[in-house]
Chain A
Amino acid sequence: MLTAKNIHKSFGELEVLKGIDLQVEPQEVVVLVGVSGSGKSTLLRCFNFLEMINSGEIIIDGKQINGKKDNLNKIRAEVGMVFQHFNLFPHKTVLENIIEAPIQVKKKKKADAIKHAKQLLEKVGLSDKADVYPSKLSGGQKQRVAIARSLAMEPKVMLFDEPTSALDPELVSEVLAVMKQLAEEGMTMVVVTHEMRFAKEVADRIIMLDEGRIIESADPKTFFENPSHDRTRQFIQLVE
């Protein structure tokens, strides 16, 4: 579904990704972990071309993407992204946030977009919030709206960059519950998170990034109980 081949990415002198190979299968849930600065966000952002790779290949749904030639907007529409700070559009209501891209990008009819949006709001448990502005929502509600907004584009893959890190502790579980449900429904997901419980319960595979390289890639049980790398062991001790 999503393949990275030998991706390199530098910011000026600083090489952040030093040859990443990764293959995410359809319906697979991959959790990406690593210490701060290891390149997790950068990798996700390369996957939906918010950052351009310096070399390597990105293949999405069997199609190799050329950052210069292809219509990146069309590709981005197929790769959903959920941000740490939600990034809802504050001048639009919850419903308007969700129908914006389907109408503008997919040229959906407004009535159809609204109908779909309402189904999605029900799915994330926010049917009663359709007409309020984001500023009136709690962090957890904002993030669930952001997830619904991404889903409205019917993406093939969903990327999550620390979706619960900006939330008060008591609001984390409502967002994780929505993500878990998505995973159960078969969404292909790449998730950067520090929530190890979520990783253990939901991930098919956990990947450890260290200084721009993948040093560990294993199912949760192996990852936690029998990691192959010292750095992984240190990391597990740190987060548990």
Chain B
Amino acid sequence: MPEILVTLYEVLKRTYPGFLDAVVITLQLTAVGVVLGCLLGLFFALLKLSKSKPLQWIANIYITVIRGTPLIVQITFLYFGIVEFVTLSNFWAGAIALGVHNGAYIAEIFRGAIQGIDKGQSEASSSLGMSKTQTMKRIVFPQALKRSIPPLGNQFIIALKDSSLVYVIGVAELFSIANREAAQSFQPFETYLVVGLYYLVLVMIFSFLLRLYENKLDVDKD
């Protein structure tokens, strides 16, 4: 067996207990980030679709600022901004930063999906006497949500990879642990190769699940 494979195997074997713990933290960061991102995204999508100009501006400013600045700047800015005022663990500071970041992209996903629903749907609903809120909640939103799931899945994958940037504020997620390991072991090449594999496998698992779900949608398509 070539020597590199042997060393890789050894690094894998040595690091996996720590790395698997770190994977859990990475997944937690991602999950919190995406859930929070969905809530923020929904909120700002509704602001953007509202009839009020000031509310639209607020949403536009949020989306423009978040999409126009690097995530790593947002993470550090939010971290030092937040810990000035409240005590918050690094994990939660990082998760909130990821949530705020993803919210801007998810807002656009939701807005596109809601706008993509045929106007006839809300007209039919109104013509039956349903209020605007009922129409949104029961007719437009369920259809929009279904259409949002594939792009949301992609956003989840992006968030999973982006969560590595939270290493800058010292959260013990996968990439931080890899950094530490690389420095201690004097095997940076093998260590980063291994951590890359971890991310790749996670992304592939999730892509697979997403594809299963999309196929299911196609099957009971209505």
Contacts and interface: CB of A to CB of B under 8 A. Distances in A.
Contact of A135 (B118, B121, B128, B222): B222
Contacts of B118: 87
Which applies to chain B's interface (DSSP): helix, strand, loop or mixed? helix
Nearest to A50: B123
Interface string B107-135: 00000000000101101111111110010
A3 interface: no
Contacts of A100: 128, 130, 138
A100 to B, nearest CB: 7
A83 B120 CA distance: 8
Given A89-B124, A90-B143, A91-B143, A135 B129 contact: no
A77 B221 CA distance: 30
A73 B127 contact: no
Interface residues of A, number: 30
B220 to A, nearest CB: 8
**5 nearest CB pairs, A to B:** A77-B129, A133-B222, A87-B124, A101-B128, A87-B120
A89 B130 contact: no
Contacts of A133: 222
Interface of B: 118, 120-121, 123-131, 134, 138-139, 142-143, 146, 221-222
B120 A105 contact: no
A87 B121 contact: yes
Among B121, B124, B126, B127, find the residue whose CB has the most chain A CB atoms closer than 10 A: B127
Contacts of A76: 126-129
Given A90-B143, A91-B146, A91-B222, A48 B127 contact: yes
Nearest to A101: B128
A136 B220 CA distance: 11
Contacts of B125: 89, 101
A67 to B, nearest CB: 13
Interface in A154-190: none
A197 interface: no
Contact of A153 (B126, B129, B138): B129
Contacts of A9: none
Given A89-B139, A104-B138, A50 B221 contact: no
A112 B139 CA distance: 22
B171 to A, nearest CB: 39
B128 A105 contact: yes
Interface string A73-102: 110111111010101111100000000110
B129 A101 contact: yes
A90 B120 CA distance: 12
Nearest to B145: A91
A73 B131 contact: yes
